[in-house]
A and B are shown apart, each in its own frame.
Chain A
């Protein structure tokens, strides 16, 4: 089945595109202000929140897709992949954390947790789909 025929997927892709553009716009704006005006204090914190809002909107868009998906099988597959993804992500962060503490491995920026989660959930979804093929 072509997933583009699914209205929930179509709506999700549009929302994903919109939130991605929002993220890029906020990121460029925040970096530009930091480079040119070097803000400090609460203003700096507020500006740093801006690009994060784009990512949070992306997560919300996926949540909306899950609640709108009518195909029970597809929804379960996605949820299982999300759960495997968080298990794998937390395993990586815990292992990295201990390596950071004991052998002074390079600090893992927390900003990497979300992309890591996306990659691992994507892998989990691929494996799940292969399993049910």
Chain B
């Protein structure tokens, strides 16, 4: 029974992710096209620039929904532990790089990269935590 709930949570998560990735691709195309062709300014430019961020926020909300739908305590523990380790790794990495930018003139890293960095750490942490609980 629990296995079925986990599987349906995972399939719902994948479906939502697929939709959001398609929305992200479409919105990014639209915004790039608008900025290249029409060079918007003022409030419209700000609104357009924020648009591609919305699917990313949706992707995070989808992951939160997936965690909330998990019933198996072990799977939930693995997911939460991995998330906590990736938070530690991301905050450590951004702080280290932040001081390098500030004091040692290291190149500026776009804040846009924080999310993919977190994603990479989450992947590594999930693999390591899974191995620990195997």
Question: Closest residue of chain B to A42, judged by CB?
Answer: B104
In the complex, A34 Cα to B103 Cα: how many Å?
7
A99 within 8 A of B: yes
Hey, which chain B residues are within 8 Å of A34, CB to CB? 103
In the complex, A101 Cα to B99 Cα: how many Å?
22
**Complex partner residue of A98 from B61, B97, B98, B112, CB under 8 angstroms:** B112
In the complex, A102 Cα to B50 Cα: how many Å?
9
Interface residues on A, range: 35 or more
Q: Interface-forming stretch among B2-10, B11-19, B85-93, B126-134? A: B85-93
B48 within 8 A of A: yes
Contact between B101 and A82, CB atoms less than 8 A apart = no
Contact between B103 and A110, CB atoms less than 8 A apart = no
Q: How far is the CB of B129 from chain A (nearest CB, A)?
A: 14
Q: How far is the CB of A26 from chain B (nearest CB, A)?
A: 10
Contact between B104 and A94, CB atoms less than 8 A apart = no
Contact between B88 and A113, CB atoms less than 8 A apart = no
Hey, which chain A residues are within 8 Å of B94, CB to CB? 110-111, 113-114
Hey, which chain A residues are within 8 Å of B104, CB to CB? 44-45, 47-48
Contact between B113 and A97, CB atoms less than 8 A apart = yes
**Complex partner residue of B111 from A31, A47, A59, A100, CB under 8 angstroms:** A100
**Complex partner residue of A59 from B83, B91, B101, B105, CB under 8 angstroms:** B91
In the complex, A4 Cα to B112 Cα: how many Å?
40
In the complex, A30 Cα to B80 Cα: how many Å?
36
B60 within 8 A of A: yes
Contact flag A55-B115 (CB < 8 Å), given A102-B49, A109-B101: no
Hey, which chain A residues are within 8 Å of B66, CB to CB? none
Contact between A100 and B110, CB atoms less than 8 A apart = yes
B-contacting residues of A (Cβ < 8 Å)? Answer: 30-31, 34, 44-45, 47-49, 51-52, 55-56, 59-60, 63, 66, 79, 82-83, 86-87, 89-91, 93-103, 107-114, 117
18 A-B residue pairs with Cβ-Cβ distance under 8 Å, sorted by A, are: A34-B103, A48-B100, A48-B103, A49-B96, A59-B88, A66-B84, A79-B80, A86-B87, A91-B57, A93-B114, A94-B115, A97-B53, A97-B110, A100-B112, A102-B35, A108-B111, A110-B101, A117-B87
